[in-house]
Chains A and B, each alone.
Chain A
């Protein structure tokens, strides 16, 4: 890290670069205090949600929202009930998100390679169409999308599949969502990969080309193995985007049928005429968030570094 580099004039404490970027002297404590205070702002909604998810209904009302429940106010009932209600949604989300994430990233990598490493005239307008595709409001394609999928009898067309073990007719909905999410994931994946490929050194690719390697071979043997860091970013980003998405699920699946992804099932959880059961809701919210939170806790550094490599 640049801050830790000791420069030639580091003997003079005042002007050393590490001091210039680091807080000076006693201000350091203040800096860390401010950072910790901001961390509280980022963590408190999560903390409040977490403690509330372990409280009985009485404890939710009677204890401060940010304090953990007392021994008589503690319960696992909310988590059990949320798991019971959301388990099929969690499975559906996983079945939908993983293929759509991988396919979107792969298509993005291929398209970016075709538009970067192989240079030909006219790739800029083509690429501009990919970039513009990143910024479409989903509302602008929603009515045609629901028309399109209602015209395609996917459930009957794929009927032989439903005889296979583990597959049910309602999985047709999930296939619709996989195709849809793959298609709308392509623009951002392509843009991210292209930025990365532009920064790759040409030397190895040129050398392979002079050796007579074809475009496919160059992709498979050189570009793909070098794409690791960008695949990490794109896969993490797309996994969270698709797992977290609600609108397409709401429109294409609707209601709380057997094919509803977890975000759709979470929306109505814990609401009744008597009011909102916040304990149950918070448990459900955390169950829904768990996969993406885990991904960020485990791979967050890689994601941040990948983002850094891009800018």
Chain B
């Protein structure tokens, strides 16, 4: 048994350490103090009253409470506008709100969704959305990667080329739409003035077969530069030895990139995808500006334009909300695996 002296010393060390620990770790219930080894651990912890006030004090000093003023206000503002609004949107999609007047929340059903999945316009828009998303992201990633590899092999003018390739990324979809409307102009646009030398004069925007491809081409023009910047950063983080080792093994340049270098760029692919997805979700802006109205040309209707048109042009609020929920579920199909992979990598 420790002597009374030692107990006092033990207690005072213990309380100082526990203070420090509260400050450092913010642990509130410190029944399992690490100081047990010093022999003072057998001493009882005083009355219940001090225990409670201890706890209150350590709660006040705890890191959780200390962190609240920082993240809670942004969290509440974001939560209200993002999750509150999505919940409300789901509720509206269960009503049959139409035209003017308030939604009637007393009779909720899934009728809008039933109508939706039977609608040809919806199926068509969903297919176009899928094509646009996949083609846009794949093309941006491939072009961005090729550009990054080429730029990584230069010594001079690298920053200049990087800036030139990145410039379109700074533009508004509305501006891009104007520029490409002029590029694609059937009579005087650049593309047709070159093609007309070969006797061709396609209607890029009017032809339902061509318009989606033309839209994707313009979007890739705008976003591939950003993918390039991300890949270039990823490439420059790879140590020279990896290039060297592959070269000593006698690998050709293409094999070296394919087998050794590209597999190391997974992180870059993910961070490029984040921004590409955000961009693709805003494709509405581009289509609205290109056509100057809620209805894009036949062949270019996507869920985003269909939703806004149904809600704000036809005042089919509940129907539009149902389309929006479908769009959100599609986004979740991307977000949830992304969150999970980030969690697995310890990046959350």
The interface of chain A, by Cβ under 8 A from chain B, is 1-5, 7, 15, 17-18, 20-23, 31-32, 34-35, 38-39, 41-46, 48-49, 52, 60-61, 64-66, 107-108, 110-111, 113-115, 118-124, 126-145, 147-148, 180, 182-184, 186-188, 190, 195, 209, 214-216, 219, 240, 243-247, 250-251, 263, 266-268, 271, 276, 278, 281-282, 284-286, 288-289, 292-293, 295-297, 300-301, 303-304, 307-311
Contacts and interface: CB of A to CB of B under 8 A. Distances in A.
Given A188-B278, A251-B312, A308-B236, A120 B324 contact: no
B174 A263 contact: yes
Interface of B: 23-24, 26, 62-64, 66-75, 77-86, 88-89, 92, 147, 150-155, 157, 159, 161-175, 178-183, 185, 187-190, 193, 221, 225, 229-230, 232-234, 236-237, 240, 243-244, 247-248, 267-268, 271, 274, 277-278, 281-282, 284-285, 288-289, 292, 303-304, 307-308, 311-312, 317, 320-321, 323-325, 327-328, 331-332, 334-335, 338-339, 342-343, 347-348
A271 B182 CA distance: 13
Contacts of B153: 21-23, 31
Contacts of B79: 129
A39 B225 CA distance: 11
Summarize B's interface: helix, strand, loop or mixed. helix
A304 B166 contact: yes
B89 A140 contact: yes
A190 B78 CA distance: 11
Nearest to A291: B170
Contacts, number: 354
Contact of A307 (B233, B311, B320): B233
Given A45-B221, A135-B281, A296-B166, A65 B182 contact: yes
A282 B170 contact: no
Given A110-B71, A186-B78, A244-B173, A22 B154 contact: yes
B248 A111 contact: no
Contacts of B289: 246, 263, 266-267
A268 B178 contact: no
Contacts of A251: 308, 312
Contact of B320 (A38, A43, A143, A278): A143
Contacts of A138: 281-282, 284
Given A23-B153, A39-B165, A118-B67, A17 B243 contact: yes
Contacts of B165: 38-39, 42
Contacts of B64: 120-122
Given A61-B188, A140-B327, A311 B225 contact: no
Interface centre among B88, B180, B268 (most CB of A within 10 A): B88
B163 A49 contact: no
A281 B68 CA distance: 49
Given A137-B304, A137-B324, A268-B292, 5 more contacts: A140-B325, A148-B85, A266-B175, A292-B172, A311-B233
